[in-house]
Amino acid sequence: MPAILLMPFVFLFGKSFPQQYLAHFLGALLVVLTMKLSYLIKKDKKLALWSGILVGLGSIIFYLSSVGSVWYLGQITAAFFLMAALTESLDKKRPIIVSILLGAAYLSRPHTILSLPLYLFLLRKSLPNIKSYLKLAIPFLMFFAFDSIYNFTRFGVPWNKGYFLIPGTLNEPWFSKGIVHPSYILEDLKVAFLMGPKILNHFPYLQPSWAGMAIWMTTPAFVFALKASLKEMAVKLSWLSILLIFLVVGIHGGTGFAQFGYRFAVDFYPFLIFLTIKGIAKTNLKPIHWVFLFLGILVNLWGVIWINKFGWVSY
């Protein structure tokens, strides 16, 4: 999907067009979409502003969209379309539009389609009969068919087996049990929840680790997602989406390095952001919410400056 989005720019400006520009643009649009999503959840301009800052400056979307390399761009693109689909599902609820957006997310990161139950629930009032379900299914199936034909053309099979064709891949230590294995989930859990920055005995004393950093360190405000009411089906399905997507990325060898934070989490960030907004929307914004947001901004600004400007990062 990132390649498809870049095609008009390459046509107009040539092959030298920097793909990072697309990452910058999508990162900025993610902020706008998040603010709209927040306002749809609760008509509170301060919460919408808080939510936009959270995504733009207080999460690793800041770093990923500032770099825009191949894997980062794929994740930013997927997160953009998932967030757009969430916003549409809460706003105009047009099945065709949501289907197109989910198809685009699928072409960015295929496992994001595991969030489909959440979208079906949010659109339930717009799906009164079989015809309406067809409106939802057909656009996505067109994206799916395109992907299958594309894979068959390049690999001879309808699924993407490119990873398995990289010379020497299975010789890498992080693929010691194959490309995918359930035991790899433990390593992802360590990065997602336990890994911190590198502490040095010399200047600059503290630096990011390419191996990753815990989600709660890079975005402390995500803790407010735990306040979202589990009595709501949308909340339950959001957590289910997060779990299913995490399990898929977790069984894959490697934990996302080189990275700032735990980048695989961006595949389910739209749902984590949705839950965080829901958790705060139950009450008015309080000083603690701004404190946690400020801490996240500091951490991500530190990461972007240390890595992008000074190169103070290592394993």
| Digit-coded pLDDT (tens) for 2-28 | 999 999 999 999 999 999 999 999 999
Residue 11 lies in a domain: no
For residue 3, being part of any structural domain is answered with: no
Residue 142 in domain:
yes
Mean pLDDT for the stretch of residues 49-73: 97
Please say if the pLDDT value at position 194 is more than 90.
yes
Mean pLDDT for 109-122 is 98
Choice between 162 and 112, residue whose per-residue pLDDT is larger = 112
Confidence at 70, pLDDT banded by 50, 70, 90:
very high
Buried-state track 152-189, b at ≥16 Cβ within 10 A, e below 16: eeeeeeeeeeeeeeeeeeeeeeebeeebeeeebeebbe
Residue 166 scores a pLDDT above 90: no
Domain hosting 95: range is 17-310
- The answer to whether position 6 is within a domain reads no
Residue 258: its pLDDT value, please?
Answer: 95
32 part of a folded domain? yes
Q: Is residue 294 part of a domain?
A: yes
Question: Is 7 within the bounds of a domain?
Answer: no
Over residues 266-279, mean pLDDT: 98
Burial profile 91-122: b = 16 or more Cβ within 10 angstroms, e = fewer: eeeebebbbbbbbbbbbbbebbbbbbebbbeb
Residue-averaged pLDDT of the chain:
96
- How many structural domains compose the chain? 1
Q: Is residue 211 part of a domain?
A: yes
